[in-house]
Structure 1
Amino acid sequence: MPDASTPEIRTLWRAFVPRWAHMPVSGEGPARFGGRWNPVGAPALYAACELSTAWAEYNQGFVQHPALIAQLELSYANLADLLDVTVQERLSVDPAIHRCEWRAVLDLGRTPEAHLLRQRLISAGFDGVVYPSYMSPGGHCVALWRWNGEGQPTLRVIDPDERLPKTPASWL
């Protein structure tokens, strides 16, 4: 059952590879490579609740790569707030899921707990999750599985001066 405490409008931040500036709300990268909250082949959009968290998550503690950082506005999403202990208990979520080494689990040919939980939450009507940042202690992230489709939450980039390109032509 969706979490009624989810705000109607939420500001998010997304840091991503500048080459994809024309697709600021695409989930194609995570679909291609998989992620903590999505298996390969399943689109997802990862964003942060704080600008500094978006930067930390993008770089994953490695070399500081060039990034484009966009502010996003998410409207009317049913998010499972896994920061809330009562939500974790209600959904039978072990808090250890936030420390799971999901890549290592995949390398062993197994399905990470977060992927199993994702499927359960989608079936229960959730559009995504709010979870603690692994790379920025105290920061919070959002993973979306459904957005901008019919009957789905709306996610839009904040670009009042329309500075983002509309096509990949700037990279040719």
Structure 2
Amino acid sequence: MPEGAQLTLWRAFVPRWAYLPLSGEGAARFGGRWNAVGEPTIYAARELSTAWAEYNQGFVQHPALIAQLELSGARLADLTDAVLLETLDIDRSIHRCEWRADLDEGRVPATHALRHRLVGLGFDGLIYPSFMSPGGSCVALCRWNERAGPQLKVIDPDNRLPKTPASWV
């Protein structure tokens, strides 16, 4: 993504958290493909259908809130680009990383190590192919809405999203 460019993203998440559409705390709490526990991360998709497929992971169709996001000013490592993979000496097998098995066996997943490397190189996140929606792609955003960093906003023109958890009491 060229710096300064805008990117439309889609995020599906548990409706209970509708008042926090830009939080990466769920990922920080449980960890994920591209983040260890304690590392806030926004996971989103570049296509609406991919967001839905990734959220449900191909299993039971759970209720979800789907929000459209607008990302600007992010420097993303596009891991779907063979030239970038070669330039950074990243093997394509990274997309088949068994990160859950690695965690279960006490190993640091290759995806977590790569995230740290990319952040160290100045990337704000990365684009990767969807596992659940062939042909789709996702974004794992490591930095957003900091003073001098990329900006992420939720598209909510009629202010329908709740502002507090009170709507779920």
Superposed CA offset, 1:24-59 (max 9, x none): 010000000000000000000000000000000000
Q: Distance in 2 between matches of 1:13 and 1:145?
A: 16
The answer to whether 1:92 aligns with 2:89 is yes
Q: Distance in 2 between matches of 1:132 and 1:50?
A: 11
Cα shift at 1:23? 0.3
Q: Distance in 1 between matches of 2:33 and 2:124?
A: 15
Residue 115 of structure 1 corresponds to 112
Residue 164 of structure 2 corresponds to 167
Query: Where does structure 1 lack aligned partners over 5 or more consecutive residues?
Result: none
Cα shift at 1:100? 0.9
Residue 33 of structure 1 corresponds to 30
Q: Distance in 1 between matches of 2:59 and 2:4?
A: 33
Residue 12 of structure 2 corresponds to 15
Please give the root-mean-square deviation of Cα atoms over the aligned residues, in Å. 1.0
Opposite residue 66 of structure 2, the aligned amino acid is: I
> Structure 2 matches for 1:15-164, cutoff 5 A?
15-164=12-161
Query: Where does structure 2 lack aligned partners over 5 or more consecutive residues?
Result: none
Q: Distance in 1 between matches of 2:162 and 2:88?
A: 41
Superposed CA offset, 1:65-109 (max 9, x none): 000000000001000000100000111111100011110011010
Opposite residue 46 of structure 1, the aligned amino acid is: Y
Opposite residue 104 of structure 2, the aligned amino acid is: D
TM-score calculated relative to the size of structure 2: 0.98
Q: Name segments (4+ residues, structure 1) moved above 2 Å.
A: 4-7
Aligned residues: 169
